[in-house]
Amino acid sequence: MSGPAPALRVEGLGVRYGALVALEGVSWEVAPGEILGIIGPNGAGKSSCYDATTNMAPRSGRVWISGEEVTAVPPHGLAERGLKRAFQQNAFFAALTVRDNMVAVLAREAGTGLLQSLALPWREASRRHALEAEAAAILERFAVPREMHGLRPGNIPYGSQRMLSIALAFGRGARVLMLDEPAAGLGGADMARLIALLRSLRGEGIALVVIEHHMDLIMSVADRIVVLEQGRCIANGTPQQIQADPRVLEAYLGQAA
């Protein structure tokens, strides 16, 4: 194979729940600085595909990060190799401030426990300040404004909570960021912020994989789209190709081909 390795490649992914085949023979890849959309009707296998990729469910198939096979690597080992995932439900420590949620992630990435990070002894105060400054910079980069950093996540607007959950997943950085319905529940201004963020991450060379029901978003930001139906990949192409594909129109968009 010539040229640089894909940031993330999966081959022949399969997931079964008892007799139910949730995913079968699904293969795709995403390059650095590319946004791959994964779409499909309810129950098509999108979440199963994410769980299979990140080794969070028993599955068949193989996975590579930047050319290194990681099929047998557990989820935390994948994160250490730069594959990070944000979930559909916002997952915060509700009792901590926005800033301390971010500090906890940075401390964990540095191998420090949560409690330790929040109660660093006085002689480590400067380290604590450094972590807080780093947390603030990351939060602002993800469009969570400074005036919200001292609030609890439940007390900031929903759109900012979504951005916070992406920032927490990203941490100090990622080669590949997998997002599960990042636009769910977002209105116009928040959607515009999300689109700007995705484009800016792509511009930095990060590979993004995005499951999304919001068609306008996925068609406007994705470079390529994989369409799943009943656990199988029925199309893989540019947004233009996908929108013109009769199988997709019939299976997914519910329009007569």
Ligand X SMILES: Nc1ncnc2c1ncn2[C@@H]1O[C@H](COP(=O)(O)OP(=O)(O)OP(=O)(O)O)[C@@H](O)[C@H]1O
For ligand X, the binding residues (CB under 6 A) are 17, 20, 22, 40, 42-48
* Cβ at position 20, least distance to ligand X in Å: 5
Q: Which is nearer to ligand X, 48 or 160 (CB)?
A: 48
* C-alpha triplet 224, 27, 46: angle, nearest 5°: 75
Q: At what angle do helices 158-170 and 188-203 cross, to 10 degrees?
A: 20
Q: Which is nearer to ligand X, 44 or 169 (CB)?
A: 44
Provide the b/e sequence for 13-35 (b: ≥16 CB within 10 Å). Answer: bbbbeeeebbbbebebbbbbebb
Q: Which is nearer to ligand X, 170 or 252 (CB)?
A: 252
Cβ-based neighbours of 135, under 8 Å, separated by 6 or more: 99, 102, 103, 106, 149
* Cβ at position 94, least distance to ligand X in Å: 24
H or E element in which residue 12 lies: strand 8-17
235 and 242 in contact (C-beta within 8 Å)?
yes
Residue with tokens 């008892």: 18
* Cβ at position 111, least distance to ligand X in Å: 32
Q: Which is nearer to ligand X, 45 or 61 (CB)?
A: 45
Q: Which is nearer to ligand X, 40 or 159 (CB)?
A: 40
Q: Which is nearer to ligand X, 1 or 20 (CB)?
A: 20
Residue with tokens 């296998």: 45
* Cβ at position 56, least distance to ligand X in Å: 11
* Cβ at position 178, least distance to ligand X in Å: 13
Q: What is the radius of gyration, based on Cα positions, of the chain? A: 19
CA distances in angstroms from 143 to 147, 156, 158, listed in the order given: 11, 12, 13
Query: What is the distance between the alpha carbons of residues 70 and 184, in angstroms, rounded to a whole number?
Result: 30
Query: What is the distance between the alpha carbons of residues 156 and 101, in angstroms, rounded to a whole number?
Result: 13
* Cβ at position 240, least distance to ligand X in Å: 23
Q: Which is nearer to ligand X, 47 or 101 (CB)?
A: 47
* Cβ at position 8, least distance to ligand X in Å: 18
Residue 30: closest CA among 252, 225, 231, 170:
225
